[in-house]
């Protein structure tokens, strides 16, 4: 997503665009309106399927009392893709200073992805005129009986083949929508290079969002001797501060993989996972993020979080004498080896 940095603060310091992570405060028109009225630089809908879904039985979301982490197994509850397209259409055509508009779409099957694209590009409704980007969610950890597509590299390539060749090329003639992938955390360094070499074949994919929640955690209530959520025997995706080191590793792993690829790949990176403070955003930018999205902390604090994070980020930049993101982005240093 090419959501532009903002520099509307007192010091004229550039701040990366900050948006909501899909799934957080974005499932109904009411919550999307709240985001729309907030200072978020962009909004992203709840991941949508072709038809509305109830999702998994409750309890399906839990916050640690000390805000250490969240665990969820929502199971993709959403009001169906048309609902979110109608919401964006109700905002009218985008004006210059309006927020960036992203539609998150589930990847349940290639047929369903194609059907949703047909709706987006429908020539009567012209929904595509009202949105900027599609974020394909290849990483929902909570679909009972279904694995995470982005861990199956062969299946991911086949899906990309169909989507890009039969749909993106066909429909992008009307309006150039950006397409990106929401990825799960990878835990082995070679996986960044494998995913980068797959993405290199699909220039229509212009951004990745890393990471989705960390699959799978389990939390236990010691009093009741029970899991804190019900679905999947209590297992769910982890978010919140404990996942920040994983998101930093994934942002930096992809930043290096794209830069080292021959030819160098220009795929924007949205850093997501564990942002609680402006310092966390500074770390993600150092690791290579172009912009960031906030999940658990938005759920805990509400949309006021965007102003606080922006202020904190700019305070760090100011204290360090930086004013531009290019002075920071990807400039992470590796600790020098010490000879004993
Ligand atoms: O709805 C969910 O259970 C869910 C989704 Br679609 C996702 O992408 N990530 C997540 O942690 N939960």
Q: What is the 3-state secondary structure (H, E, C) of 77-115?
A: CECCHHHHHHHHHHCCCCCCCCCEEEEEEECCCHHHHHH
Burial (0-12, 13-18, 19+ Cβ within 10 Å), 222: exposed
**Is the link from the previous residue into 264 a cis peptide, with omega within 30 of 0?**
no
Q: Whose CA is nearest to atom 5 of ligand 1?
A: 140
pLDDT of residue 340: 82
Q: What does the alpha-carbon distance between residue 52 and residue 62 come to, in Å, rounded to a whole number? A: 23
pLDDT of residue 149: 97
Q: Whose CA is nearest to atom 7 of ligand 1?
A: 140
Q: What does the alpha-carbon distance between residue 270 and residue 289 come to, in Å, rounded to a whole number? A: 6
pLDDT of residue 263: 96
pLDDT in tens, 259-318: 999 999 999 999 999 999 999 999 999 999 999 999 999 999 999 999 999 999 999 999
Q: Which range, of 136-145, 171-180, 275-284, averages the lowest pLDDT? A: 171-180
Instruction: Give me the chain's average pLDDT, please.
Output: 95
What value does the mean pLDDT take over residues 20-36? 97
What value does the mean pLDDT take over residues 174-201? 93
Q: What is the DSSP letter of 134?
A: E
Cβ neighbours of 33 (radius 10 Å): 14
pLDDT of residue 173: 55
Q: 239 C-alpha vs ligand 1 centroid, how far in Å?
A: 11
Q: What does the alpha-carbon distance between residue 186 and residue 168 come to, in Å, rounded to a whole number? A: 27
Whether pLDDT at 217 is above 80 = yes
Q: What does the alpha-carbon distance between residue 116 and residue 82 come to, in Å, rounded to a whole number? A: 9
Q: What does the alpha-carbon distance between residue 303 and residue 36 come to, in Å, rounded to a whole number? A: 10
pLDDT tier at 6, thresholds 50, 70, 90: confident
Q: 137 C-alpha vs ligand 1 centroid, how far in Å?
A: 9
Q: Whose CA is nearest to atom 9 of ligand 1?
A: 140
What value does the mean pLDDT take over residues 214-221? 98
pLDDT in tens, 38-96: 999 999 999 999 999 999 999 999 999 999 999 999 999 999 999 999 999 999 999 98
Q: What does the alpha-carbon distance between residue 23 and residue 236 come to, in Å, rounded to a whole number? A: 14
pLDDT of residue 170: 73
Q: 317 C-alpha vs ligand 1 centroid, how far in Å?
A: 33
Q: 17 C-alpha vs ligand 1 centroid, how far in Å?
A: 22
pLDDT tier at 236, thresholds 50, 70, 90: very high
What value does the mean pLDDT take over residues 30-40? 97
What DSSP element (H or E) covers 205? strand 205-210
Whether pLDDT at 253 is above 70 = yes
Pocket of ligand 1 (CB under 6 A): 23, 47, 72-76, 137, 139-142, 212-213, 237
Our answer to whether residue 3 is catalytic in this structure is: no
Q: Are 296 and 263 in contact (CB under 8 A)?
A: no
Whether pLDDT at 166 is above 90 = no
pLDDT of residue 42: 98
Q: 131, 277, 250, 254: which is closest to 197 by C-alpha?
A: 254
pLDDT of residue 175: 61
């Amino acid at each position: 997503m090419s959501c532009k940095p903002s520099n509307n603060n007192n010091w004229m310091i550039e701040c990366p665009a900050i948006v909501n992570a899909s799934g957080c405060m974005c499932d109904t028109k009411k919550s999307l309106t709240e985001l729309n009225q907030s200072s978020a630089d962009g909004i992203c809908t709840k991941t949508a399927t072709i038809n509305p879904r109830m999702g998994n039985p409750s309890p399906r979301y839990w916050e640690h009392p000390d805000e250490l982490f969240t665990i969820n197994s929502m199971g993709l509850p959403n009001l169906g893709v048309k609902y979110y397209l109608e919401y964006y259409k109700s905002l009218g055509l985008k004006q210059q200073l309006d927020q960036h508009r992203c539609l998150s779409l589930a990847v349940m099957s290639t047929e369903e992805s194609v059907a949703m694209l047909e709706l987006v590009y429908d020539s009567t409704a012209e929904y595509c005129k009202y949105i900027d980007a599609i974020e394909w969610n290849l990483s929902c950890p909570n679909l009972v009986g279904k694995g995470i597509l982005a861990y199956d590299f062969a299946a991911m390539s086949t899906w990309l083949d169909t989507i890009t060749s039969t749909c993106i090329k066909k429909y992008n003639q009307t309006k150039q929508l950006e397409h990106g992938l929401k990825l799960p955390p990878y835990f082995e360094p070679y996986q960044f290079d494998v995913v980068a070499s797959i993405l290199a074949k699909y220039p229509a994919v212009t951004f990745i969002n890393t990471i989705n929640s960390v699959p799978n955690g389990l939390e236990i209530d010691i009093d009741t001797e029970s899991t804190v959520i019900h679905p999947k025997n209590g297992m769910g995706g982890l978010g919140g501060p404990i996942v920040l080191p994983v998101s930093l590793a994934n942002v930096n792993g992809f930043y290096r993989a794209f830069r080292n690829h021959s030819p160098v790949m220009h795929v924007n990176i949205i850093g997501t996972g564990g942002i609680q403070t402006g310092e966390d955003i500074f770390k993600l930018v150092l690791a290579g993020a172009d912009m960031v999205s906030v999940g658990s902390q938005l759920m805990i604090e509400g949309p006021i979080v965007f102003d606080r994070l922006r202020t904190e980020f700019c305070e760090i930049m100011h204290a360090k004498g930086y004013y531009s993101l290019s002075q920071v982005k990807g400039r992470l240093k590796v600790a020098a080896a010490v000879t004993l």
